[in-house]
Amino acid sequence: MNHRKCYEAFDRTFRDILRGSNPDAETCPFGGKPILLGGDFRQILSVVQAGDRVDIVDASLTSSYLWPHFQLFSLKENMRLSKVGLDEKEKQELVDFASWILRIGIGDISDLIIADDEESSWIKVPNDFLVHFDENPIDCIVYSVYTDFDKFFDDSSYLRE
């Protein structure tokens, strides 16, 4: 996630460039050009070195003068659940993980690692969601995401899915 000032600079640049061909561009966000951003602002925050919660919120796009001009769309269907070949156990695991992520986003997780953490920023990740490893953590992560990597490492459709 970029600092809000990056978007504001992008906005001013677009308006400056486009006002030569369109006088109304100067008064429209991004010179009147549609801009599409993706992500969940509850999960992807700007990085502010040595910043506290106030600094991080201030750096986010939601604190920008541009924010009221955005139209928000929400995804309603978990596309991972429509993957071909999932059994009921795998579907339930995906539902549980998605639910847990949403609970984090709305601040509904109460199992904190550090009990006196004022900002409630350290949470305990359930053991089921962890990738366990003995020797090579990178291999373990790759093989937990791509379970048949050895067979399909050169198959772009497998890697894309």
pLDDT in tens, the chain (161 residues): 788 999 999 999 999 999 888 888 889 999 999 988 887 766 677 788 888 888 988 888 888 999 999 998 887 888 888 888 888 998 998 899 888 888 887 777 766 666 665 655 677 888 888 888 888 899 888 888 888 888 998 999 888 87
SS3 percent helix, strand, coil of the chain, rounded to 5, is: 50, 0, 50
Cβ neighbours around 46 below 10 Å, total: 20
Q: Provide the pLDDT for residue 69.
A: 93
> What global pTM score does this model have?
0.60
CA atoms within a 13 Å half-sphere pointing along the CA-CB vector of 59: 16
User: What is the predicted pLDDT for the residue at 143?
Assistant: 86
Tokens of 48: 């502010």
Give dist(CA 75, CA 69) in Å, integer: 20
Alpha helix segments (H runs only) across the chain = 4-18, 53-59, 88-105, 137-145, 149-152, 156-160
- Residue 62 half-sphere exposure toward CB, CA atoms < 13 A: 12
The ranges assigned to domains in the chain are 4-69, 79-160
pLDDT value at residue 84: 82
User: Rounded distance, CA 93 to CA 69, Å?
Assistant: 37
Q: Are 59 and 4 in contact (CB under 8 A)?
A: yes
- Specify the 3-state DSSP secondary structure of 119: coil
